[in-house]
Structure 1
Amino acid sequence: MIQLTRLNGKSFSLNALFIEVIESFPDTTITLSNNHKYVVKESEQEVCKKIAIFYHEINVLSLRKDSEVLDDE
């Protein structure tokens, strides 16, 4: 799960495995595989970084947990 913030300031957890599309309209809109949409305060880049960290933590990409894959660009 990744921690995100709705536009009204309330935080919530979202299962990143169900994210299908992330867009900026300019607000960041996340569309899940079931077509539900969430608009969040975080930027598209922040959401992508949170997803990468989450995938790394649960080892979904079969990467070694001690490898560094999340360098700042």
Structure 2
Amino acid sequence: MITVTRLNGKPFSLNAIYIETVESFPDTTITLTNGKKYVVREPHDQVMTDIELFYTRISLLGKVKAEEDHDGE
């Protein structure tokens, strides 16, 4: 889960596994795989960093990075 903030200032947690796209219109808009959209205060780069940290924490990203490092040798 990542924590983001609605435009009205209320924070909430979102399961990053279900995030399909993150866009800036200029507000950051997160679209889930079910089509639901959330507009949040956090900048695009911060959301992407939070997603990457979440994936690493649950070992989805760490394995991919390790394989990429190994292939590069």
Q: CA RMSD in A?
A: 0.8
| 2:22 paired with 1:27 | no
**In structure 2, what is the equivalent of residue 71 of structure 1?**
none
CA distance in 1, matches of 2:15, 2:48: 13
- Per the normalisation by structure 1, the TM-score is 0.83
CA distance in 1, matches of 2:43, 2:26: 9
- Per the normalisation by structure 2, the TM-score is 0.83
Please identify runs of 4+ aligned residues in structure 1 that moved more than 3 A: none
Identity %: 59
Count of residues in Structure 1 that have an aligned counterpart in Structure 2: 63
* Aligned-residue offset at 1:61: 2.3
SS in 2 for 1:42: coil
**In structure 2, what is the equivalent of residue 59 of structure 1?**
59
* Aligned-residue offset at 1:22: 0.6
* Aligned-residue offset at 1:18: 0.3
CA distance in 1, matches of 2:10, 2:25: 20
CA contact (8 A) 2:3 2:12 kept: yes
Structure 1: which 5+ residue stretches go unaligned?
64-73
Structure 2: which 5+ residue stretches go unaligned?
64-73
Which has the larger share of helix?
2
SS in 2 for 1:38: strand
**In structure 2, what is the equivalent of residue 67 of structure 1?**
none
